[in-house]
Amino acid sequence: MLYLVATPIGHLGDITLRALEVLKNADLIAAEDTRHSLRLLQHYEIRKPLVSYHEHNEARRTAELLTPLREGKNIAIITDAGMPGVSDPGWRLLNACREEGLEYTVIPGPSAVLTALIGSGLSSERFLFAGFLPVKSGGREREVRGALERSETTVFFESPHRILKTLTVFAELAPARRLCVARELTKQFEEFRTTTAAELLAHYTAHPAKGEICLVIEGNNERRKPQPEPEE
């Protein structure tokens, strides 16, 4: 069976008991970054064969991993943090298993998206996760405009090296819109900073952001307002 296993997004204590059981009983563990994952495995004294499975070798490695799965082996996929398949490798192999009728399951656990959403204090009733913001300015601005238009809360992944550029676009288009920079989640210097786009830009211009970032954008309140009933 193939297991997609969620791993901690920072604090090693956040792994589930079920995830540990699966990793201890796996015949092989496929990891996005073997050096990074080795720290987690060594912490829990898990010693299993380990192979790399990342965006640059995913197609080739998927074909290779299907062979032991067909033979009845148990393979666990883990990424550097969070759930495999969410902006990380995992989707391709899972779908290959679906096509061949091979068994698979998902072991739930930590999620940077949900942690950021709840910690932001913004509405979590309806939300959209939109992955990583585009690197190029044109694509980034289109995504920003889309987030400002929709009524749902939007969650993006963003790099600390580009967060100022992104906040600049938000501050230019909607300076009063509330955003949250959620960074270093579950780690020592965890931060949830929720305020207007203009204030966030000023803050991180003076205090450059470090670490992994989730950016949460408040939905368009005007679009959320209930429409009046049509007159008969």
Q: What is the pTM of this model?
A: 0.89
On whether residue 69 sits in a domain, the answer given is yes
Mean pLDDT, the chain, integer: 94
On whether residue 143 sits in a domain, the answer given is yes
Q: What is the CATH number of the domain that holds 80?
A: 3.40.1010.10
| pLDDT per residue as tens digits for the range 111-125 | 999 999 999 999 999
Question: What is residue 222's predicted lDDT score, i.e. its pLDDT?
Answer: 75
Same domain, 137 and 193: yes
| pLDDT per residue as tens digits for the range 193-222 | 999 999 999 999 999 999 999 999 999 987
Q: What is the CATH number of the domain that holds 165?
A: 3.30.950.10
Q: Which helix (H) or strand (E) holds 36?
A: helix 34-43
On whether residue 231 sits in a domain, the answer given is no
Same domain, 198 and 145: yes
| pLDDT per residue as tens digits for the range 130-155 | 999 999 999 999 999 999 999 999 99
Domain boundary among 66, 87, 107: 107
On whether residue 230 sits in a domain, the answer given is no
Residue 147 vs residues 144, 155, 181, 214: alpha-carbon distances, Å: 5, 9, 15, 14
Mean pLDDT of 72-94: 94
Same domain, 15 and 73: yes
Q: Count of domains in the chain?
A: 2
Token digits of residue 3: 């297991």
Same domain, 116 and 220: yes
d(CA 8, CA 127): 22
**At residue 133, what is the residue type?**
L
Mean pLDDT of 159-183: 98
Please say if the pLDDT value at position 224 is more than 80. no
Mean pLDDT of 162-188: 98
Residue 102: domain span:
2-107
On whether residue 25 sits in a domain, the answer given is yes
